[in-house]
Chains A and B, each alone.
Chain A
Amino acid sequence: MTGISVAFGGVKALTDVSLTVEPGQVHGLIGPNGAGKTTMFNVACGLVRATEGRIVWRGQELRRLRPAQLAGLGIARTLQGVGLFPGLTVLENVMVGAHKHAKAGFFSALFAIPTADKDDARLRERAMGALTELDAEGYAARYPGSLPYPVQKRVALARALVSEPELLLLDEPASGLSEDEMHELGELIRLLSGRMSVLLVEHHMDLVMRVCDQITVLDSGRQIAAGTPQQVQNDPAVTEAYLGDAVDDTTDVSELAGTDGGTHRG
């Protein structure tokens, strides 16, 4: 993504932001609240159209694509919150994620022609496999509303993984998780990066610093730093942005600075 700018009416949400997610790497997108992380993320998955700039995926310009086509290109995303379908079972939710892999056409599926049946069975198997990978296979027949939040998040992740995307977009996957669960999530993301590229929007610095290969920092819609976790941590512009904007959020600041936050303020 190069030179991305987004304006909502007269308000500039993003100004000239560029980032590249390398194959097999985890790329973090961070910044204080309102920095434009989610906007950038939505540009990447086609929900928000960039007013300027180019999005290139495997040599293909993506700007004019609709969200439904994006899935067909091997890009999957999770949503802030969970976004599971309430009236579908856990297994069915994941099966929708594998939707684009089904081979049978529209009409053979409509009239339940045997190839479509075999397809359905395969779909079911794949979905079950994805649930097993995330230790959620025991919940397959349950409805999402009845499950604890962390389990719902795992199911949502399974739904994104089942399509075997080449690029996985994660929107604040750690929100609402406990310390332990976040740790597990970190391990999982590292594990996944062997199979796909990951773009991670997250404000838990701890997690970002641990799992990301590259980090882009946004502040007020502008890119203020980019590089490895070490480079970003030592960048004075980043420290300043965080200290200026989020003094009350002491954990974030201390983690970001890589030292005890107290020394910076004291």
Chain B
Amino acid sequence: MQEFVNLTLGGVITGSVYAAFALALVLIWRSTRIVNFAQGAMAALTTFIAIALIDAGQSYWVGLVVALLSGLVIGAVVERVVIRPVEGGPELNAVIVTLGLFIAIQALISVLFGVNQRAFVPPFSNIGFRIGDTTLGSLSPNTVYTLIAVLLVMVALIALFRFTRLGLAMRASAFGQEVARLLGVRVGRMLTLGWALAAVVGSLAGMLIAAETAFVAPTFMDSLIVFGFVAAVLGGLDSPIGAVVGGLVLGVALSYVRGYLGDTLVGLAALVILVVVLLVRPGGLFSTTQTRRA
């Protein structure tokens, strides 16, 4: 029983990071119909920037803020410079471009920061809380911080999209670029902002994962892009809520696989889930008919 509780809690926590990462993918998919395979590498880059600062004596929080801000800038620059020319073109072009970007950024990290693993000191203790005699291994001050950070970002994003004029303009651009343009919405600017915001969320996911694994290599986000993508597809790629639920479901499912079946099967299990979802509900668990038509 204790193991089950631990695995479930651990699953919810890693799942929340998958959810954040999936959300970043969905943000970009909704506005530009591009799956950003470079998302993980971009997040790894900002995490390494933070590590460089922390190693130079700055606090974790300075590192976090700089990581998020550099994510914002990198996201915007990538959209303007690399993605804009392939937007609205054949889908394969955009896929190849983001894959190329993924490899290029990963190489850039190795050039700038070396290929070795770096230690990453989490902002809070990773030692589990004790209740009476039992230790909740997966519930530590650090994982609570992870949960809170992901929740805050989600609430902020929902508030932005639901309640602000800017969010409205971004949603309008996602649903009909041409019409939005006629109504005076600066669509190009909204797309740039969408990529920038997605990169911020991705950067946060990178920082949170790094704090959990304690060691990071330039490739440390590679598995997260797979899990984030599976979570996003699980939710339907078009639905932010779907991405969040998909992330949590995937996190818990993989946690059970890890605990009961073994660590080595986790990657395989993620792919099995992806294949099953694509076979049974190709539009994802949360897709609406209308987005499926689009």
Interface residues of A (CB under 8 A from B): 45, 47, 66-72, 76-77, 79, 83, 85-88, 92-93, 95-97, 99-100, 102, 104, 106, 109-110, 112, 116, 119-120, 123, 145, 159, 163
> Chain B nearest CB: distance from A115 CB in Å?
11
Q: Mark B166-184, 1 if CB is under 8 A from A, else 0.
A: 1011011011100111111
Q: Tell me if A's interface is mostly helix, strand, loop or mixed.
A: helix
Q: CB distance A102 to B165 under 8 Å?
A: yes
Question: Are the C-beta atoms of B290 and A99 separated by less than 8 Å?
Answer: no
B14 CB, nearest partner CB in chain A, Å: 30
A52 to chain B, nearest CB (A): 24
Q: Are A116 and B175 in contact (CB under 8 A)?
A: no
Among residues of B, the one whose C-beta sits closest to the C-beta of A46 is: B182
Whether the pair B181, A67 counts as a contact (CB closer than 8 A) is: yes
CA distance A195 to B136 in the complex (A): 69
B254 on the A face (CB < 8 A): no
Count of CB-CB pairs between chains A and B under 8 Å: 88
Is there contact, CB below 8 Å, between A96 and B183?
yes
Question: Can you identify 22 A-B contacts, CB atoms within 8 angstroms?
Answer: A66-B181, A68-B182, A68-B187, A69-B184, A71-B182, A71-B183, A72-B184, A76-B183, A86-B175, A87-B171, A87-B174, A96-B169, A96-B180, A96-B185, A99-B169, A99-B184, A110-B164, A112-B164, A119-B165, A120-B164, A123-B165, A159-B183
Contact of B183 among A99, A104, A116 (CB under 8 A): A99
Instruction: Report the Cα distance A69→B179, complex, angstroms.
Output: 13
Residues of B within 8 A of A106 (CB): 166, 189
Which residue on B lies nearest to A96, using beta carbons? Answer: B172
Does residue B130 face the partner (Cβ distance < 8 Å to A)?
Answer: no
User: In the complex, what residues of A have CB within 8 A of residue B164's CB?
Assistant: 109-110, 112, 116, 120
Alpha-carbon distance A71/B187, docked complex (angstroms): 13
Residues in B with CB closer than 8 Å to A112 are 159-160, 163-164
Say yes or no for B281: interface residue by CB 8 A criterion. no
Contact of B175 among A71, A87, A95, A159 (CB under 8 A): A87
- Interface of chain B residues 67 through 86 with chain A (CB within 8 A): none
Q: Which residues of B contact A (CB under 8 A)?
A: 159-160, 163-166, 168-169, 171-172, 174-176, 179-187, 189, 193, 290-291
CA gap between A256 and B65 in the complex, in Å: 69
Judge whether A88 and B171 touch: CB under 8 Å.
yes
Question: Which residue of the partner chain, among A68, A86, A95, contacts B184 with CB atoms under 8 Å?
Answer: A68
A-chain residues with CB within 8 Å of residue B189 when the two chains form the complex: 106
CB < 8 Å neighbour of B165 from A47, A71, A93, A99: A99
| Residue in B174, B175, B182, B290 whose CB lies within 8 Å of A45 | B182
A70 and B182 within 8 A (CB)? yes
- Distance of A106 Cα from B190 Cα, bound (Å): 10
In chain A, what residue has the closest Cβ to B169? A99
The answer to whether A85 and B290 have CB atoms under 8 Å apart is no
Query: Could you tell me the distance between the alpha carbons of A123 and B172 in the complex, rounded to whole angstroms?
Result: 15
| B56 → A minimal CB distance (Å) | 29
Among B165, B183, B189, B290, max chain A CB count under 10 A is at B183
In order of increasing CB-CB distance, the 4 nearest A-B pairs are A71-B184, A85-B175, A100-B184, A109-B166
Contact A120 B184 (CB under 8 A): no
**Chain A contacts for B171, CB-based, 8 A:** 85, 87-88, 92
B182 partner, pick from A77, A86, A102, A120, beta carbons under 8 A: A77
A87's nearest neighbour on chain B, judged by CB, is B175
> How far, in whole Å, are A85 and B291 apart by their CA atoms in the complex?
12
* Interface contacts beyond A76-B183, A79-B179, A85-B172: sample of 10 additional A-B pairs, CB < 8 Å, sorted by A: A67-B182, A68-B182, A69-B184, A71-B183, A79-B182, A83-B179, A92-B171, A99-B185, A109-B164, A123-B165
Q: Which residue of A lies closest to B188 (CB)?
A: A68
B182 and A88 form a contact (CB under 8 A): no
Give the shortest distance, in Å, between B170 (CB) and chain A (any CB).
10
Decide if B176 touches A116 in the complex (CB within 8 Å). no
> Chain B contacts of A79 at CB under 8 A?
179, 182
User: With A and B bound together, what is the CA distance between A1 and B168 in angstroms?
Assistant: 34
For residue B82, give the distance in angstroms from its CB to the closest CB of chain A: 23
Could you tell me the distance in whole angstroms from the C-beta of A4 to the nearest C-beta in chain B?
19
Closest to B175 in A: A85
Residues of A near B290 (CB, < 8 A) are 86-87, 145
Contact B159 A92 (CB under 8 A): no
A109 to B187, CA, bound (A): 16
Residues of B contacting A83 with CB < 8 Å?
176, 179
Q: Which residue of B lies closest to A104 (CB)?
A: B165
